[in-house]
Structure 1
Amino acid sequence: MRVSGRPLPTLPQYRKDSVTRRLCASVHLDDDFALYVDRALTGDRLDALGLSLGINFVALARHARVATRRRAALDRRLACLAVLVPVAVLAGVWALVNGHGSLGWVAIFGPLGAYVIAWTLVHHKESVGRDTAREVFHSAEKPERTAPPVEAAAEDWLNELKRANVLPYTDASAQTKPFVGSGEKIKELVWQPIDVSTPADDPAGGKLPLLPFDAVDLHTYVARHLETISGLPDLRAQNRLYVIGSNACYLPELVPDSTRRPRARIPKQLVQAGLQSPGAGMRTHLCLERIGEGGRMIVSMYLRAILQPPSLTWEVAAYAIPPLDGRFHRVDRLPVAPRERWWDLVRYATSHTGPQLRAALGRLTAHRRWRRDQDRWLTRQRKAITRQYVRHDYGARGSLREDLGAWDEAGYTERTDAQDFLFRLQQGVLVATERFLRDHHVDTSSYDKALQVISTQTYNIGNVSGPSIFGNNGTIAMGGQQGPGPHGGPGPQGGPGPAGAGPPTS
């Protein structure tokens, strides 16, 4: 089809990295969220980390490290002041009791001076955090370039996650879905079988010879042509091997060191093998991921061609992740006018200095205790793996992007976009399958009959409904309720570690 090149002005667009920028800004405004991200992305761990799904983990890890160091420096100074206050009071009382009246003023002005210093420190820290948040959110510079690097090993691992072709999932997830971190389930089913054993008619008479193919060929064809067929630019399509967490140790390419976290990439031949001949709890799926405007909505479809002559079936699963929770929009509401900004910072410092001064020593102690408990837990787990040969569950529990989404933030535009993505993905898969079969001289009459069964029922996303793209009986209801929030569960495999713990709130 020829599209007219009508000259029209360009409307403002969402930045493709707006979710990354919003999260990088949020770590400078929310100390607890910054600590959670720092532990999750760069902390020592044994389990896999969920997919990035449109988030630049390297940029987020860098800004989280800057924010946690700023908070730690403030806590150390406040803790020193908190210790000096009772010392000053006791010194002043001692001076008054012993007749040193001039020193008695220490009991009055010592705590007052400490409070003024603490107020100044809290004010400065919040001011720097707000300025940095606005800079990273609005700057033309890429967010990863506005913060210093973290450890090289951590950044290499996070960069590897961008192109992950393997993902271990927890044993518990095997009871529900292996696609951990993909969001709210829309549908999971197997499409109607298609006969691929009958050759197509030859226009010159007789039958065309069937051209041999396997599931790898079909997956490769769909992955290469789906973006063009579906009309979805920037569609991410790749094969990924999903492995049950406790079976990951049987793949040395995935877990080269049983006492370290698993890799995010393995040789592509192993990924193809998981499609041609699935292993024990190891199957390869064609993962189609479409990220909406500015990363607000993410729709994922997972396909697996089950080719067992004389028939072909598609295993299909679809999921969606809503926009970020509203608390990550605080950077949009920061006062910027000089007078309003000055007054808001004064109010913040006045209301937070006392609580932060009293809690500083406790926060430092809690952080040290957490690190000690985490190190002990990891040491016990590693000893159990190496000395007792315990089979460890290396699976990921979810994804950071899924944990931070909220369906209350999904508006009409996001829901209709998700509906459009799903229609286009399914239609593209069906068209690509038909073209592939025709190219291999397969009679598609069975495909035509299966298509009538696939496209019969209805579904809805939020309150936007339409004809079914997934077949099977029943409707699909999704959205309209609060999605998985940022207040997560226990640490990895029962431990206090960073992987499973949700970010605490201030």
Structure 2
Amino acid sequence: MAGRVLPSLPQYRKDGVTRRLCASVHLDEAFAREVDHRLTGDRLTALGLTLGINFVALARHARAALLRRETLDRQLAWLFAALILSLLVAVWGLVEGRGSVALVGVYGPLGILGASWWLVRRAEVQARDAAQEVFRNPDKAEKLAAPVEPEAESWLQEHSLKRANVLPYADAAALTNPFVGSGSKIKEVVWQPIDVSKPAEAPNGGKLTILPFDAVDLHTYIAKEMEGIAGLQGLRAKNRLYVLGSNAYMLPELLPDRTARPRPQIPRQFVQAGLQSPGAGMRTHLCLERVGEGGRIIVSMYLRAILSGPSLTWEVASYAIPPLHGRFYRVDRLPVAGAERWRSLFRHATSRTWPELRGAVGRIRDRSRSRRTAEKALTKLRRDITEQHWIVDYGAHDSLREWIGDWSEAGYAERIDSQDFLFRLQQGVLIATERFLKDHHVDTSSFDKAQQIINTQTYNISGDITGNSNFGNHGQINVNGQQGHGGPGQGGAQQPQP
């Protein structure tokens, strides 16, 4: 019935993944440090695609978490020094027979331990409160933490999916696919060729004159029309130039400074050129990305129209990224009130005070040493690039969103939605192609025959995905290019590493 009025069911937040990750950096130091290094660290390699994550918000919260952690370590380092001094005073008082001094030296460590316990507990309270605030607050996540360096913020803003139109990919990825960070491969195929050289029949007899077009025109049409044709609200469609990492220096617009990071944006003429006449390890693809409910799963389809002579073929590659790993759901289970919260904080502070106090100096030293080592290596690499004319790989190896995904978290709804997205994308591309050809007065009889073959191709996202396997027709898993039935032990779960 048209115009039916029904109640609204609760919906996942569109920025749910960003909020969950921003909360997690406050609760997981290793993750916060990795995020800070990836997003704001000095580097030469490209940053993977955002894929549903607000990098600015995540970078801000990661930095806030690390500043809190480093402040705690500095405080504990001073207290540890005071503890050692108190023990030395106690020993001296006993040796010299000065009981009052020895007594002070005995009670001093108890006070220091008490102060350390309080600091550890306070830091955990602040971390949990910050995690709860960003996870549940209706305000934008990026407003709930202080900005990082202006240069880093600007760079991260440019990496928005709405802006980034170029991505250098690591040389190692050239052996598999350039779409680094897009998740598990579902399908790679070149569709049946379509003859686009024959003009369509005119309504009153005779032949129409074919209107000239090129691959850029076709890509532009698909990008504009796909959301409505496929019925996928929120579909992201963008032409993006993929560049082999070691060839990035050949394109000054991408890499104006060989000792700095590649730019995420270049003039669109170069993106179009990568479609019309691909360069050295440089090809343009139409990237269709659909984020599922709450960002739990992401399906991507990469298209490239190949117009050669009288025929048109579509290069098609499909990928999926699973939901977040279980480690990012800790914020859901934090006790927030009453005796339960008090006991949880008491247990945390009591069990962590001595390890935190004893290791504070070592952690500060290790961080400083690691920072100096990284800076020294990067300085040497930059010198070699400048003086020795080294050619280096500037390409991204993965994306943050892919790195933290886990197929064991994908349920029935995510698998079904993913298949629906892929079918809709495939059908949408076919419908849009047919409309485009008809608009340009091309006879579509060859297209009709090709479509019958293309429509037999299926997408299967199996419930027992265990790794980066390739999924082909009828539930078969393509491992190293050979078709075979999937089973236990084919691939390991992709777990995030600290």
TM-score by length of 1: 0.93
Aligned partners of 1:105 and 1:442: how far apart in 2? 98
> Equivalents in 1 of 2:321, 2:96: separation in Å?
69
Larger deviation, residues 355-364 vs 62-71: 355-364
How do 1:415-426 residues align onto structure 2 when only pairs under 5 Å count?
415-426=415-426
User: Which residue is equivalent to 2:409?
Assistant: 409
2:56 maps to which residue? 58
Partner of 1:252: 252
Write out per-residue CA displacement over residues 58-84 of structure 1, whole angstroms, 9 at most, x where no aligned residue.
000111111000000001111122222
Deviation at residue 107 of structure 1 after TM alignment: 3.8
Cα–Cα, structure 1 residues 468 and 239, in superposed 2: closer, same or farther, change >3 Å?
Answer: farther
Task: Show the counterpart of 2:467.
Answer: none
Deviations 1:448-472 (A, max 9, x none): 11112212244421239997799x9
CA contact (8 A) 1:52 1:399 kept: yes
Residues 1:481 and 1:295: Cα distance change in structure 2 (over 3 Å): farther
Whether the 8 Å contact between 1:458 and 1:475 is mirrored in structure 2 is: no
Report 1:317-332 matches (<5 A): 317-332=317-332
Q: Secondary structure at the match of 1:159?
A: helix
**Could you give the per-residue CA deviations for residues 161-181 of structure 1, whole angstroms, max 9, x where no partner exists?**
002100001111111110000
Does 1:203 pair with 2:203?
A: yes
Is residue 2:174 matched to residue 1:164? Answer: no
Going from structure 1 to structure 2, the CA distance change for 1:198 and 1:474 (only over 3 Å counts) comes to: farther
Question: How many angstroms apart in 1 are the aligned matches of 2:306 and 2:493?
Answer: 32
Matches of 1:131 and 1:249, distance apart in 2:
46
Q: CA deviation at 1:209?
A: 1.1
Equivalent pair of 1:296/1:323 in contact (CA under 8 Å): yes
CA shift digits 1:181-212 (9 cap, x unpaired): 00000011111111101111112111111111
Residue in 1 that maps onto 2:148: 150
**3-state SS of paired residue (1:105):** helix
Tell me the SS of whatever aligns to 2:207. Answer: coil
What's the secondary structure of 2:222's corresponding residue?
helix
Offset, 1:225? 0.3
1:49-448 equivalences in 2 (<5 Å): 49-162=47-160, 163-448=163-448
How far the C-alpha of 1:111 sits from its partner, in A, is: 2.1
Q: Which amino acid aligns with 2:374?
A: Q
In the TM superposition, residue 485 of structure 1 has moved relative to its aligned partner by 2.0
Equivalent residue letter for 2:173: S
CA contact (8 A) 1:243 1:281 kept: yes
Give the superposed CA RMSD: 2.0
2:27 alignment partner, SS class? coil
Residues 291-330 of structure 1, C-alpha deviation per residue, up to 9 Å, x if partnerless?
0011110000000000012100000000000011011011
Structure 1 residues 293 and 285, CA gap change in structure 2 (3 angstroms)? same
Which of 24, 30, 33 aligns to 2:31? It is 33
Q: Secondary structure in 2 aligned to 1:188? A: strand
The residue that corresponds to 1:6 in the other structure is: 4
1:122–1:349: 8 Å Cα contact kept in structure 2?
A: yes
Residue number in structure 2 paired with 1:493: none
The structure-2 alpha-carbon separation of the partners of 1:326 and 1:27, relative to structure 1 and needing over 3 Å to count, comes to same
Letter of the structure 1 residue corresponding to residue 389 of structure 2 = Y
How many angstroms apart in 1 are the aligned matches of 2:358 and 2:97?
31
Aligned to 1:28, the other structure's residue is in SS state: helix
Partners of 2:189 and 2:373 in 1: how far apart? 43
Opposite residue 403 of structure 2, the aligned amino acid is D
In 1, distance between residues paired with 2:170 and 2:403?
16
Local SS of the residue matching 1:427: helix
Conserved 8 A contact 1:458-1:474 = no
> Any idea what SS the aligned residue of 1:32 has?
helix
Counterpart Cα distance in 2 of 1:232 and 1:485: 30
Whether the aligned pair in 2 keeps the contact of 1:184 and 1:320 (CA below 8 Å) is: yes
Cα displacement (A) at 1:131? 0.7
Structure 2: distance between partners of 1:291 and 1:469: 23
Amino acid at match of 2:340: E
The structure-2 alpha-carbon separation of the partners of 1:327 and 1:469, relative to structure 1 and needing over 3 Å to count, comes to closer
- In structure 2, relative to structure 1, the CA distance for the partners of 1:117 and 1:86 (3 Å cut) is same
- Tell me the distance in 1 between the aligned counterparts of 2:492 and 2:137: 32
| 1:477 Cα deviation from its structure 2 partner | 6.4
Q: Partner letter of residue 81 of structure 1?
A: L
Q: What do the CA deviations read for 1:408-451 (whole angstroms, capped 9, x no partner)? A: 11111111110110010000001101111111111111111111
Separation of aligned partners in 2, 1:476 and 1:440: 44
Label 1:315 to 1:475 Cα distance change in 2 as closer, same or farther (>3 A).
farther
**Number of residue pairs matched?**
485
C-alpha distance in structure 2 between counterparts of 1:4 and 1:129, whole Å: 50
Match of 2:350, as an amino acid?
T
Deviations 1:23-61 (A, max 9, x none): 000111111211111111111111100001010000001
Instruction: Please list, as runs of the form range in 1=range in 2, the aligned pairs for 1:462-477 lying within 5 A after superposition.
Output: 462-463=462-463
Cα distance in 2 for partners of 1:111, 1:447 equals 83
Aligned to 2:468: none
Question: Aligned partner of 2:495: which letter?
Answer: G
Distance, in Å, in 2 between the alignment partners of 1:90 and 1:148 is 42
Select between 4-13 and 282-291 the one with higher mean Cα deviation: 4-13
- Seen in structure 2, the aligned counterparts of structure 1 residues 478 and 40 have a Cα distance that, compared at 3 Å, is farther
Taking structure 1 as reference, are residues 29 and 85 closer, same or farther at Cα in structure 2, changes over 3 Å only?
same
- In the alignment, is the contact (CA less than 8 A) between 1:288 and 1:301 conserved in 2? yes
Q: What secondary structure is seen at the aligned counterpart in 2 of 1:234?
A: coil
Does the aligned pair in 1 maintain the 2:422–2:459 contact within 8 Å?
no
What is the rounded CA distance, in whole Å, between the counterparts of 1:107 and 1:319 in structure 2? 65
The structural deviation recorded for 1:108 is: 2.3
